[in-house]
Amino acid sequence: MTAANLTARRAGPLKGVVRAPGDKSISHRALILGALASGVTEIEGLLEGDDVKRTAAAMAAFGAGVERLGSSEHGGGKWRVEGRGGFSEPADVVDCGNAGTGVRLIMGAAAGFDMAVTFTGDQSLRGRPMNRVLKPLGQMGATWICRQGGRLPLTLKGGNLRKIAYTLPEPSAQVKSAVLLAGLHAEGGAEVIEPEATRDHTERMLRGFGAEIEVRELGAGRHVILPGGQTLRGTKIHVPGDPSSAAFPLVAALVTPGSEVTVQGMLLNPLRIGLLETLGDMGADISVTNVRDEGGETVADVTARHSELEGVEVPPERAPSMIDEYPILAVAAAFASGRTVMRGIGEMRVKESDRIALMAAGLAACGIGVEEEPETLTVVGAKRGNHLVAGGAGVTTHGDHRIAMSHLILGMAAEAPVSVDEPGMIATSFPGFVAMMRGLGAEIGEAVDA
């Protein structure tokens, strides 16, 4: 079989001003809540990545009117969702592609209705645990048929749900959101207790759709209370720039000598800025300007300049606020001096791939010292005297977009080029990644690999 790999090689400084694509978490939620609501929801700046397009198609299959109206002024799409105040049974299997967020949130939403729906996804998604969502939905009264040990494909049967008070066993905004979406149509609603706070876009957006929801601080965590039997009303949503995508051009600037890159309109939700805090601890030259409120979320323009980074111990309690950013943090750590220790990141192993294992393998192949433990990744920064990051490897991504983008960034500043396989998967979250990086001065080319 022949596949076109992508190769990044060292080039001049990266310079420019860009806009991150729309936030993936918020884009999924905007479509799902829009479809559950009564009336019209208009979405500006929707991320048009493959994951979100799957959710848009799923919402149409559940009976919502879903239409792309055109391109938004600042990138992304302008979409219109006409919700029918609930879901009707789809005629076919719902295929969520690569999207864990998509399938888990949609399962939660669908569980509120008296219907049977079969869910599936691509090979990566079929390997990921769904029990974490099925368990609370089962306690609410949903049932399912699944012959794959809690993995897709599975058929979920919902309706007549009862109230739940659920303490999250793992810090997962997807599970929290699935329970809350099911709770909308449960007798008595739903309560979720999260010992560690996770991204709160569902809570914020439910409010935007007119729902009553209470959030109480609970030490480092939160107690979310959603009364049942609520009707959502269509609204307008402006999707801010995704900090998990912005992380790639920002870290590229930090590790490439002479660079200065600004990402405009980046979401600065306090539960999503763990990477910025960590890079700051490492001595990164990052400035945040033009802080403003857009549709209930804080956004700003963020500028990163090439910096001499130092390794740090990342506080484990920071993990939920940067769980998708550890792969690119590991790349920043490779160019630092000293060791960067990332503890309490076991959740990384159940993402689109086992990201601890793949980052450890990829960095080692590029000449970086790494230590891998079940819940910890340690990167030994290459910057000792004249010692540089070697690169020069072909990296297996297992179809994981963030593993691919992270290693391409590494290749932009390493001594020898770095290639990644399955680069098409980058489009699940960041369709314009290669064009954006080239526009900033990066050299990324296709190599046909037999």
**Contact region for ligand S3P (CB under 6 A) — 168-176, 249-257, 328-336, 418-426?**
168-176
Q: Which is nearer to ligand S3P, 351 or 398 (CB)?
A: 351
Q: Is residue 25 a contact point for ligand S3P (CB under 6 A)?
A: yes
CB of 166 to ligand S3P, least distance (A): 14
Q: Does 297 bind ligand S3P (CB under 6 A)?
A: no
Which residue type is seen at 55? T
Instruction: Verify whether residue 354 is a known catalytic residue.
Output: no
Q: Which is nearer to ligand S3P, 235 or 245 (CB)?
A: 245
Among 20, 61, 109, 173, binds ligand S3P (CB under 6 A): 173
Catalytic one of 324, 354, 421, 449: 324
What is the Cα–Cα distance from 344 to 90, expressed in whole angstroms?
39
CB neighbour burial string for 98-132, b if at least 16 within 10 angstroms, e if fewer: bbbbbbbbbbbbbbbbebebbbebbebbebbebeb
Per-residue contact track with ligand S3P, 73 to 112, x per CB under 6 A? ----------------------------x-----------
Binds ligand S3P by CB under 6 A, chosen from 41, 72, 174, 397: 174
Stretch that binds ligand S3P, among 171-179, 269-277, 310-318, 361-369 (CB under 6 A): 171-179
Identify which of residues 25 and 264 has a Cβ nearer to ligand S3P in the complex.
Answer: 25
Applying CB under 6 A, what is the total number of residues that bind ligand S3P? 11
CB of 322 to ligand S3P, least distance (A): 10
Residue with smaller CB distance to ligand S3P, 16 or 195? 195
Decide if residue 172 touches ligand S3P (CB under 6 A).
yes
Contact between 323 and ligand S3P by CB under 6 A: the answer reads yes
Q: Which of residues 335-374 bind ligand S3P (CB under 6 A)?
A: 347, 351
Whole-number Å distance between alpha carbons of 109 and 111: 6
Q: Is 194 in the site for ligand S3P (CB under 6 A)?
A: no
Instruction: Find the residue with minimal CB distance to ligand S3P.
Output: 25
Least CB distance from residue 271 to ligand S3P, whole Å? 10
Residues 242-281 that bind ligand S3P (CB under 6 A): none
Shortest CB 24 distance to ligand S3P, Å? 7
Residue ranges in contact with ligand S3P by CB under 6 A: 25, 101, 172-174, 177, 199, 323-324, 347, 351
Active site residues: 324
